[in-house]
Amino acid sequence: MVLRKNLFDLPEGVIYLDGNSLGPLPRTAKARVADMIQDEWGGQLIKCWNSAGWMAQPSRVGDMVGRLIGAPVGTVVMGDTLSIKVYQALAAALRMRPNRKVILSDSGNFPTDLYIAQGLIQLLDSGYELRVVDPEDVAAAIDDLAHSAGAVPVDLAACACEFAVGCTYKYLNGGPGAPAFIYVRPDLADAVDPALAGWLGHGAPFAFDLDYRPAPGSERMRGGTPPVIQLTSLEAALEMWDGIDMHAVRAASLALQDVFIREVEARVPALRLASPRDASQRGSQVSFAFEHGYAAMQALIARGVIGDFRAPDIMRFGFTPLYLDEDDVCAAVDHIETVMRDRLWDDPAFMTRQRVT
Amino acid sequence: MVLRKNLFDLPEGVIYLDGNSLGPLPRTAKARVADMIQDEWGGQLIKCWNSAGWMAQPSRVGDMVGRLIGAPVGTVVMGDTLSIKVYQALAAALRMRPNRKVILSDSGNFPTDLYIAQGLIQLLDSGYELRVVDPEDVAAAIDDLAHSAGAVPVDLAACACEFAVGCTYKYLNGGPGAPAFIYVRPDLADAVDPALAGWLGHGAPFAFDLDYRPAPGSERMRGGTPPVIQLTSLEAALEMWDGIDMHAVRAASLALQDVFIREVEARVPALRLASPRDASQRGSQVSFAFEHGYAAMQALIARGVIGDFRAPDIMRFGFTPLYLDEDDVCAAVDHIETVMRDRLWDDPAFMTRQRVT
């Protein structure tokens, strides 16, 4: 059983099928951030770097993330954004193999990976090439877990992957702008060049040496001052995963998806399944194509069913079983049926009102 | 008049002379973060990127910082850490002048700048050299405002400086891990290569193009998803600067420093002034050298006077006139006099207790 609905502060009347963009608010995160601000920052000020454990927080929280992606203790650290961590992993991987000049990525990646690679290649200016191919043709040295940490089982220790990066504001519910994580395979961690040689990745930051000397292990991937408030929110959010088996999360998500697909196809034939019918090929989202998808999604959102829209015609729904159950899914389908039956997507007055607000 | 003591939540009995490391908690920051978490993240979820202005926040807050450093509207954006922003500014500056191969920095810089430059040079691997000289010999293209934004008057519009970066958790009281800022001179902003080509620095992030095309102006220096919770705290903290003239802040800080130096020298002759006696050569800190400085600072902190210590023998005190007045300074000197007169730094039992807690 993975349902933890009572641990989330979900707005009344909302069925939230967009946890793949921004996870909802865990009740403990709100309280923990308030306490941290008042008692730690407010009450103990600068002492907190030691007394409240702020300095160790990026590694402590990294280990909590590590447990969810099969990464050994000490191999994951938190910090920066996913963009920066992609850059760091990519730059470090290039440094390890100076004679390899092709960066392979796939066109199915969120384009941030491609932008970052393009920027790095331009900066290096020494014959690197970015080759973008179809997703099925890639076996990359860097895995991007933005869309799987907290959603599907991942076992980094069992795979050959050298670096992995991901974000924590989706399925891990860390809050808007929660920091990213980076994993370095343990046998590489003492040799890897962190590229972004931040102060807190130094082996002895408080010696104030003029020369950079990386910390042992994955700690060297730390950058500047960690975002303590965001990390506090994330740390509270991660505690709810205690005792949750990621295989059970995956199974529960697929069960919700099956109900959703079956009910939509039975009751709303105008929507055409755009996701693979084979469950093993899906992540935790289900997409349906509909010509007036943008307007239909706006009508759904106005009724409290929050999914998202991707051009040209994709209505996308996410199934995160920590705070969604079968009743929610069936209620969402009721709303979809009403919107389509009553052609609520075809109400210009309604759409105008929506745009104004 | 720049005193805003009632806007801060300072712990009872504490005289805080370490705002140069971490600014104290503004009362509004606590309330604003709580509201943002509950009403925005909790109540409106993903819609907040538009409805609550999260997407525009890095530029909106950037303009608030800009007003304090003489930067025109639209030239400053928030994000990442100072380490990352130093890297970005340095990489962008190098790209503008491919034939110039020497990076000049000074030994008085906080070493993060040197580490970042060393890492970048290693990555570029094409004949760059970092030359570290005495502070008085440098006229750099990049200014690092970590230690002056919010402390001394800065007029970026009037100087030739091309890039400037700084942090916001010291004198701007944004909270631990508050994001950094970066300024690009307006005539360069449309041509500069952002180097860290983040998704939100793209000209049309929601077009999901496969190719990176930078946004117009300084917006291109944005990276990934902004840290909304930290930015909300910072935004609240910045509002208290409305109507404050930075020259008045500087004058008030120097007046407090003068009182402090005069009283310490008159009453505690064992402490030797380590900062320049000429006020125009000082920032907002005053340092005294004392052989047992570490132990003496611990004894002071135990009595509620919080400064910091730098090896081998420097006791450092910061004077931030938004929440410190002359009474605080005199009370701090009373404590210093007591600690020195009663040799509280020489109490092994006391020092052991301090280390344990």
d(CA B213, CA B198) in angstroms, rounded, equals 10
Architecture of the A27-239 domain:
3-Layer(aba) Sandwich (3.40)
Q: Which of A40, A82, A83, A172 is the best substitution to test chain B (most B C-beta atoms within 10 A)?
A: A83
Identify residue B142 by its one-letter amino acid code: I
d(CA B58, CA B78) in angstroms, rounded, equals 5
A263 C-beta neighbours (distance < 10 Å), count: 17
Report ipTM for this prediction.
Answer: 0.95
Are the beta carbons of A123 and B91 separated by less than 8 Å? yes
pTM of the model: 0.95
d(CA B250, CA A321) in angstroms, rounded, equals 55
B296-346 pLDDT, tens digit per residue, is 999 999 999 999 999 999 999 999 999 999 999 999 999 999 999 999 988
Which fold is adopted by the domain A5-25+245-356?
Aspartate Aminotransferase, domain 1 (3.90.1150)
Of residues B37, B98, B119, nearest to A196 (C-beta):
B119
Backbone region of residue A153 per phi and psi (left: phi > 0; alpha: psi in -120 to 50; beta: other values): beta
d(CA B92, CA A191) in angstroms, rounded, equals 28
Angle at A203 between CA A201 and CA A207, to 5 degrees: 110
Q: Which of A112, A173, A316 is the best substitution to test chain B (most B C-beta atoms within 10 A)?
A: A112
Confidence band of A356 (pLDDT split at 50, 70, 90): very low
Find chain B residues with C-beta within 8 A of A80's C-beta.
80-81, 84, 224
Are the beta carbons of A46 and B82 separated by less than 8 Å? no
Residues of B catalogued as catalytic: 110, 144, 169-170, 316
Find chain B residues with C-beta within 8 A of A225's C-beta.
81-82, 167, 169, 176-177
A-to-B residue pairs, Cβ atoms closer than 8 angstroms:
257
Are the beta carbons of A80 and B81 separated by less than 8 Å? yes
B265-303 pLDDT, tens digit per residue, is 999 999 999 999 999 999 999 999 999 999 999 999 999
Of residues A123, A177, A306, nearest to B46 (C-beta):
A306
Place of tokens 């800190």: B285
- Between the alpha carbon of residue B191 and those of residues A90, A100, A312, the distances in Å are 25, 30, 32
Q: In what order do the strands lie in the sheet with A163-166?
A: A76-78, A181-184, A163-166, A142-144
Domain boundaries, chain A: 5-25+245-356, 27-239
Place of tokens 């130094």: A202
Q: What is the largest CA-CA distance in chain B?
A: 70
Find chain B residues with C-beta within 8 A of A208's C-beta.
110-111, 310
d(CA B218, CA B235) in angstroms, rounded, equals 19
Identify residue A254 by its one-letter amino acid code: L
Confidence band of A140 (pLDDT split at 50, 70, 90): low
Find chain A residues with C-beta within 8 A of B177's C-beta.
225-231
Nearest-neighbour CA in chain B from A217: distance (Å): 17
A285-329 pLDDT, tens digit per residue, is 999 999 999 999 999 999 999 999 999 999 999 999 999 999 999
Are the beta carbons of B177 and A227 separated by less than 8 Å? yes
B28-45 pLDDT, tens digit per residue, is 999 999 999 999 999 999
Are the beta carbons of B123 and A125 separated by less than 8 Å? no
The active-site residue, picked from A18, A80, A144, A328, is: A144
Question: What does R_g of chain B's alpha carbons equal in angstroms?
Answer: 22
